[in-house]
Structure 1
Amino acid sequence: MQLIWLRTDLRHDDNTALSAAAKRGPTLAVYLISPEQWLAHDDAPSKVDFWLRNLRTLSNSLQQLNIPLLIRTAPSWDQAPAVLLELCQQHGVEAVHTNQEYGIHETRRDQAVARALEAQGIEFHGYLDQLLFQPGSILTQSGSYFQVFSQFRRICYNRLHMALPKLVARPEKQSPLNIQSDVIPKSVSGFAVPSDSLRALWPAGEDQARQRLAQFADEQIHYYQDERDLPAKPGTSQLSAYLAAGVISPRQCLHAALQSNNGEFESGSPGVFTWITELLWREFYKHILVGYPRVSRHRAFRPETEYLPWRHAPDELAAWKQGRTGFPIIDAAIRQLLETGWMHNRLRMVVAMFLTKNLLIDWREGERFFMQHLIDGDLAANNGGWQWSSSTGTDSVPYFRIFNPITQSERFDPEGKFIKHWLPELAELNKKQVHNPASVGGLFGVANYPAPIVNLSQSRDRALSAFKNLPSRQMLEASHG
C-alpha cells in the first residue's frame, strides 16, 4: 500500500506525489488537521475554511479513482510522526509520498516524519511540485542563492526556454480498497467560519480554479500589464488562493499563459510576460525561504535593519488595522481585506509602506495581521512582500522611496471608484476630493470619516532619518568579528 500525505497540494490533476504513489500500487490519501500549528502560524480562518472546502471536492474526485481520503488530527506538527506511523502500520503502508513544502517548521516536520517511518522500514519520498525549480538549482556563479529578483528571473527564463516542466498525468482508476473515506469536518476549533459572502468569492475545487485560469488566459491576461495596478478593475487572475492551497499548480498556470501567447515568453503579449514574471516572484520568495532560513524566524533579511527604531504606537496600529487612518486608499484596502480575505497586490505595497515608513511600525506587525486575514496567506510571499515594502528585504526598494498614499490613490484609482465602493461614506465627494477628504475644508473634514492620523511629509522625514542612521552591514560584520 502507498500513502499520499496531502498538504498544500489539494488537487488530483498534475499532482506529482499522487501520481508517483499511484504508479507504485494501491494508494490511500491522508490529510492532517493541525489546529495548534495553524494558530501558531497565524493562518486565517478564511484560509482554513478554504482548505476544508477544497478537501471535500478533492475527496469526491479521489473517490472516482477509488482512492480513499482519511483525516487524522495532529494538533501540532510534533505529533505528525506518531500519527502517520500508526496509520501506516494500521494499513500496511510501504511508502509515504509527499510534495515538498518550504519553511523551517515544514522542513523539520518532514525530516522528523521521514526518520520515524524509515526506522520502521517505511519509505518516505518528497517531490518537487509547488515550484518550477528545485531550491538550490538556481544559484549565482559563486554558488549562493540570488538576492536580486531580476538576476534570478533571467536564469529562470533561460531554463524554461531550454525545457518546460511537464504536466503530470492524473492517476488511473484503481481497484476498490475496502477502506471508507472519512467525513471532512465543516470547521476546526479555534477558527471562525467566514461569512457566506466571503466564501462565495472563493468557490472550492479544481474545476473552479481551472475555469478561472482559462477565463483569465483567454480574456484578461493580454491586458494584465496595463490593468493589474488598477484596483477598481478585475485586472488580476484571482488565482492566488488556489495557488497557495495547491488547488492549481504553477505548471498549469505557466502552460495556460504560454498557450494564450502561441508558446512565446518575451515576444507577443506583454501581459503574458508580466504575469509569468509574477509567477517567478512567487518562486523567488520560496527559494529565499530555503536559502536564508532567518526569514522563517521573523528576522529581517538585511541584518542591519534589525536596528531600526520601530515605534510602539498601539493606537495608530489599531487605526491601521481597522481602516481608520484618514487616508481613503489605505482604509479601503484594509476593508477589502477584512471583508473578502484578499487585497489587491498594488495596495498591499501601499498599505505596507504606509505602516512601516509613515507610521514607522515594525513590518512584523503588518505581516502577522495580513496572515491572520488572507485567504491566500503564504509565508514566503507575504514575508517577501512585507520585507520588500519596508526596505528590510531582498532586492528591496531603496529606503528613500516612500509611496505617498494620496499620489498612489490618484494614479491608480483616478475616478475614486475603488475607494467609494469600500468607503460609501465618501460617495458624495468628487474624484479630486475623494483621495484626500481632509482637504475639503470645514473644521472637521467629512462627517463620519476620520482625520489623517499622521502628517505625510513629517512622517516621511522621520523614516528617512531612521534609515539613514542605521549601522552599515560592514560595521555590523566588523563588530561581530
Structure 2
Amino acid sequence: MKKEKIAVFWFRRDLRLHDNAGLYYALKSGLPVLPLFIFDKTILDQLDNKEDQRVTFIYQAISGLKKELQNLGSDIAVHYGSPADVWKDLLEQYDIAEVFTNHDYEPYASERDGEIKSLLQKQDIVFRTYKDQVIFEKQEVLTGQNTVYTVFTPYSKAWKAKCNTFFLSSYPNEKYFSGFLKTKTTSLLTYKEIGFVETKPEFPADHVKSELIENYDETRNYPAIHGTTRLGIHLRFGTVSIRDLARTALEKSDTWLNELIWRDFYHQILWNFPHVGKGKAFRPAYDNIRWRNNENEFALWCQGKTGYPLVDAGMHELNETGFMHNRVRMVTASFLTKHLLIDWRWGEAYFAEKLLDYDLAANNGGWQWAAGSGTDAAPYFRIFNPTAQAEKFDPKGVYIKKWVPELNSLNYPAPIVDHKFARERCLKVYKEALNND
C-alpha cells in the first residue's frame, strides 16, 4: 500500500505552535505536517547532572505541545538518539517530501543540520530552514561598508533604523492548523528513557506584567527587586515569540528593547565569527593573557566564598536556583577574570552548566565582554569594584542578606584578594599580553 506523502516540521529552539516561522511554511506547503522533536543524545550525553532542570523544562514544553496537537487531531513524534539515526528511521517509516525547521546558529547545530541536509538530499527531500528566534540574523544588519557590526551601539542604531512592522509581524499559524497530519495518539517517552530524572523546579512565567516593562529602566539594575522579565529560558527554548516581545518593547520600553537587540547582536557575532563559539577570544590578542588559573580560588568563586558579599550572593543564587540577576552576572564574571585572573572560559563553562537560560551566544558574549576579549569598544580597563557595586545597586543589603545569611558571622570568609592589589595586577598582566601581540 502506497504511503501518504508528508512534510515534517522539526522542533528545536522553537517549542510553540504560535508565531513559528518554519512551522508556518510547513503548514502552508499543502502536505500533511508531522511535528517532530528529537532529544539529541549528542547534547544530552554532555550533561553530567541527570537532574538538569533544563531537561525538565524541555520535557514539560513538549508535553504541552503534545496536548495542543492532540486536541487538533494530531500528535508530535518524539524520539531519543543521534539526529542522523533518528532521521534514517523516519525515512523508512514515512514518505517524506519536505522537511521544515528554523535556523540554529551554534557551531554544533550548523554541523548537525549540514549532516541532515546531506542525508535528505540523497533521497531527493528538500530541507528548508527559516529565521525565527531573532528579529535580524547573520548579515541582515550591516555597516555602510557592508561589513558586520562588531560594536553594539552602532549596531543597535542600525537595527532600530531597519526594523518595521514587516519584521515584527507574527506568522498567522492558527489559520492553517488543519494542515497537521491526522494521527493516533502516542505516549511520550519517559524521563528514564532519555537518561534523566524529573525535577520539580518553579520555572518563571512565560509572560510579564505591563508595569514591569514600563518600569524596566528604573528597576532592572537592582537585584533585590523583581525588576527583570526572567524570560531568558523561554527565549532560549522558544516557548515565547521574539516578535511578540519586540512589539511590546517598542511600545513600552526602549531599555528592554535594547536587551532584545543584544540577543540579536550576539547571535550575529556567533554566526559571523564562529571561532568565539569554539573557545577562542573574539579579539585574538587576548588569547595571550597569562591567566593564573588557581583551582582553589576558582572553587571558592563557584561556592560563593570569595569574601565579597555581592559576588558570593550571586553565586549562591545561581547554585540554588539556576538564575542570576544580570547586573550580578557582570560583577561575578568581572571578579573571576579581573580580580582572580582566571580564564573566562572556566566561568563560561560553569555558567553553561548552571544557568537555566544558558544560551551559547549570549553566555559567550557576556563572558568575553567581562574579560575584555569581546566586542566592547573600550575593553580591559573596566574592572568592577564589587563593594562599590553592592553599595550602588543593593544599598540596603536586601539581596546580599537573602543569599549570604552568614555575612556577619565568624563563618564568613575574609576577602580572597585585595581589590586595589587585584586591579593593579590585572592591568599589568593584560598590558603585557597585549603589548606582546
Q: TM-score range by the shorter chain?
A: over 0.9
* Counterpart amino acid of residue 168 in structure 2: P
Q: What is the CA–CA distance in structure 1 between the aligned matches of 2:367 and 2:291, rounded to whole Å? A: 15
* SS of match in other structure, 2:28: helix
Gap regions ≥5 residues in structure 2: 1-5
Q: Choose which of 358, 382, 387 in structure 1 pairs with 2:368.
A: 387
Q: Choose which of 200, 217, 222 in structure 2 pairs with 1:225.
A: 217
Partner of 2:202: 200
Partner of 1:152: 155
C-alpha displacement at 1:357, in angstroms?
0.2
Q: Deviations over 1:299-358 (max 9, x none)?
A: 000100000000120110000001111111111111111111111000000000000000
Change (3 A) 1:220 1:187: farther
Q: What is the CA–CA distance in structure 1 between the aligned matches of 2:102 and 2:182, rounded to whole Å? A: 23
Q: Which moved more, 1:300-309 or 1:393-402?
A: 393-402
Change (3 A) 1:372 1:276: same
Q: What is the CA–CA distance in structure 1 between the aligned matches of 2:289 and 2:341, rounded to whole Å? A: 9
Alpha carbons 1:10, 1:247 under 8 Å: kept: yes
Q: Deviations over 1:26-65 (max 9, x none)?
A: 1111111123323448899121221111111111112222
Q: Deviations over 1:418-454 (max 9, x none)?
A: 011111223xx5xxxxxxxxxxxxxxxx312111111
Q: Choose which of 254, 276, 281 in structure 2 pairs with 1:273.
A: 254
TM-score by length of 1: 0.85
Partner of 2:32: 26
Q: Choose which of 362, 381, 384 in structure 2 pairs with 1:403.
A: 384
Q: What is the CA–CA distance in structure 2 between the aligned matches of 1:396 and 1:48, rounded to whole Å? A: 37
Change (3 A) 1:176 1:125: closer
Partner of 1:53: 60
Q: What is the CA–CA distance in structure 2 between the aligned matches of 1:5 and 1:147, rounded to whole Å? A: 32
* SS of match in other structure, 1:238: coil
Q: What is the CA–CA distance in structure 2 between the aligned matches of 1:67 and 1:345, rounded to whole Å? A: 40
Q: Percent identity?
A: 37
The count of aligned residue pairs is 428
* Counterpart amino acid of residue 386 in structure 1: W
Alpha carbons 1:51, 1:245 under 8 Å: kept: yes
Alpha carbons 2:105, 2:270 under 8 Å: kept: yes
* Counterpart amino acid of residue 264 in structure 2: E
* Counterpart amino acid of residue 41 in structure 2: P
* Counterpart amino acid of residue 240 in structure 1: G
Alpha carbons 2:168, 2:246 under 8 Å: kept: no
Partner of 1:253: 245
The answer to whether structure 1 residue 333 and structure 2 residue 314 are counterparts is yes
Partner of 2:96: 93
Q: Deviations over 1:279-303 (max 9, x none)?
A: 0001000000011010011100010
Gap regions ≥5 residues in structure 1: 203-207, 262-271, 430-445, 477-481
Q: What is the CA–CA distance in structure 2 between the aligned matches of 1:393 and 1:354, rounded to whole Å? A: 16
Q: Choose which of 248, 270, 273 in structure 2 pairs with 1:289.
A: 270
* SS of match in other structure, 2:34: strand
C-alpha displacement at 1:22, in angstroms?
1.4
Alpha carbons 1:389, 1:396 under 8 Å: kept: no
* Counterpart amino acid of residue 72 in structure 2: L
* Counterpart amino acid of residue 243 in structure 1: L
Q: What is the CA–CA distance in structure 2 between the aligned matches of 1:130 and 1:405, rounded to whole Å? A: 34
* Counterpart amino acid of residue 240 in structure 2: I
Q: What is the CA–CA distance in structure 1 between the aligned matches of 2:91 and 2:241, rounded to whole Å? A: 28
Q: Choose which of 132, 136, 140 in structure 2 pairs with 1:137.
A: 140
Q: Choose which of 208, 218, 232 in structure 2 pairs with 1:240.
A: 232
Partner of 1:467: 430
* Counterpart amino acid of residue 303 in structure 2: Q
Q: CA RMSD in A?
A: 2.0
Q: What is the CA–CA distance in structure 1 between the aligned matches of 2:10 and 2:54, rounded to whole Å? A: 19
Partner of 1:366: 347
C-alpha displacement at 1:66, in angstroms?
2.7
C-alpha displacement at 1:397, in angstroms?
4.7
* SS of match in other structure, 2:238: coil
* Counterpart amino acid of residue 457 in structure 1: K
Runs of 4+ that moved beyond 4 A:
41-44, 187-193
Q: Deviations over 1:208-264 (max 9, x none)?
A: 41xx23x2xx111121111100000010011111000100121010122334x4xxx
* SS of match in other structure, 1:67: coil
Alpha carbons 1:349, 1:385 under 8 Å: kept: yes
Q: What is the CA–CA distance in structure 2 between the aligned matches of 1:467 and 1:380, rounded to whole Å? A: 24
Q: What is the CA–CA distance in structure 2 between the aligned matches of 1:186 and 1:243, rounded to whole Å? A: 23
Change (3 A) 1:324 1:35: farther
